[in-house]
Amino acid sequence: MISTSGLNISIARIAWLFLVALMLAGCGKKEVAVPPAAPATGLAVATDPEKVLNIYNWSDYIADDTVKNFESRYGIKVNYDVFDSNELVETKMLAGSSGYDIVVPSSQFMERQVKAGVFARLDKTLLTNIGNLDPATLKQVAMYDPDNQHAIPYMWSTDGIGYNVDKVKQFAPDAPLDSWSLVLDPKYASKLKGCGISVLDAASDIRSIVLIYLGKDPNSQSPEDLKLVEDQLMKIRPYIRKINSSQYIEDLANGDLCVAIGYNGDVLQARDRALEAGNGINIAYAIPKEGSIVTIDTMVIPADAKHPKNAHLFMNYLMEPKVAAANSNKVNYANGNTASEPFLNESVKNDPAVYPNAEIKAKLTPELSVADDYNRLLTRTWTRFQTGK
């Protein structure tokens, strides 16, 4: 999940910039390894003396009974708090002593935080269910966290195109629905202008998408490639109605937009809202055949967590096939847990918007963080695109 709500971003972003400057620059905290587990005796599981676990997760990102079942099975009291912005989490992590034992940042943020040394190394001997995870997803996480030392995947999501099926047919009957050219090719974009195109206000996401469309490396940091991206974006700029990361949910659901580059969870939500409202609007989501980028939300244990063993126990519990499946069934996100697949609802498992087929899945790339110099160039490019000058 990627934070998009405007207010919270502005709340956290300022503070977060402060802190990143304050902390990343100066002190590199010593990385603390979790003390080795007590030898497992029979059925006993390793828990901390204090039967408490403090979890910090995205809001509405877990099945209703997941926490309750854990509490009754292990007799551990869970304090479950929710957030909706990566920046706020980063602020709390970098400030230290957050009090949480499990946190769920998105992968790009996790990478930076791992480098700052705020997370504990996982004790894999306590994570006996780790074999249930999809090796491909683990490998993607390892691009941010080498050897998966600190983080395991929780859920993953994709960028793609959400569209109003009937309107696209009406305005651009010849347009391909399975290609980025639907939005990025001026030929089709110009036809869809009348019914509305929206693009995520996320510079690095869109730059990777355009690079994929142009057949380049999505994580390329060369200024020449960025120039090509800008040229392409400027060609379609006149046809874009909105550059926004949250309004498009409502607009798609109400029929005010034809096409939006967005996140799969958001588009599915727009689809469900339209269904519930019964307004006859038919929303679909497609990951274009050229490929796209994938965002993984990962579970980590802060280095100063007071209940690291309980945290491992909960992580291990979440990787149980039935538990993982129940969570995905509830929240409509893919979980990266291969063993959970038999327990998924058909409607979730067979929804290409949640679980793309193998061919498309192979074309999904994680987006890596970029160097500061490149980031400056990217921001300038993005500003020119936003203002259309």
Partner 1 sequence: MKSQTPWFRLSSLVFGFAFLYIPILSLIVYSFNKSKLVTVWGGFSTQWYGKLLENDQILDAAWLSLRIATVNATGATIIGTFAGLVLARFGQFRGRTMLSAMTTAPLVMPDVITGLSLLLMFVAMEQAFGWPAGRGITTITIAHITLTLSYVTVIVQSRLATLDGSLEEAAMDLGARPARVFLLVTLPIIAPALVSGWLLAFTISLDDLVIASFVSGPGSSTLPMLIYSKVRLGVSPDINALATIMVGLVSLGVMITGYLMFRRERLRQRDMQLASSAA
Binding residues for partner 1, per CB under 8 A? 4-5, 7-8, 11-12, 14-15, 18-19, 54, 56, 59-60, 79-84, 88, 91-92, 95-100, 246, 269, 273, 276-277
How many residues are there in the chain? 389
Q: Cβ closer to partner 1: 88 or 287?
A: 88
CB 254 within 8 Å of CB 281? yes
Q: Tell me the angle at which helices 247-254 and 264-277 cross, rounded to the nearest 10 degrees.
A: 40
Residue type present at position 346: E
Q: Which two tokens stand for residue 216?
A: 């380049």
CB 87 within 8 Å of CB 16? yes
Give the up-direction half-sphere exposure of residue 23: CA atoms within 13 A in the CB hemisphere. 20
**Which residues contact residue 113 at a Cβ distance below 8 angstroms, ignoring those fewer than 6 apart?**
90, 93, 94, 105, 119, 300
- Shortest distance, position 352 Cβ to partner 1, whole Å: 22
Q: Cβ closer to partner 1: 274 or 364?
A: 274
- Shortest distance, position 277 Cβ to partner 1, whole Å: 5
Distances (CA, A) of 239 to 76, 99, 236, 352: 55, 48, 6, 28
- Shortest distance, position 123 Cβ to partner 1, whole Å: 21
The radius of gyration of the chain from alpha carbons, rounded to an integer in Å, stands at 21
Q: Cβ closer to partner 1: 98 or 327?
A: 98
- Shortest distance, position 96 Cβ to partner 1, whole Å: 6
Burial of 358 (0-12, 13-18, 19+ CB in 10 A): exposed
- Shortest distance, position 52 Cβ to partner 1, whole Å: 8
- Shortest distance, position 374 Cβ to partner 1, whole Å: 28
Q: Cβ closer to partner 1: 99 or 131?
A: 99
- Shortest distance, position 254 Cβ to partner 1, whole Å: 10
The whole-angstrom separation of Cα 326 and Cα 349 is 12
Q: Which two tokens stand for residue 139?
A: 């490998």
Q: Looking at residue 334, what DSSP letter applies?
A: B
- Tokens 């956290």 sit at which residue? 12
Q: Cβ closer to partner 1: 85 or 381?
A: 85
- Shortest distance, position 79 Cβ to partner 1, whole Å: 3
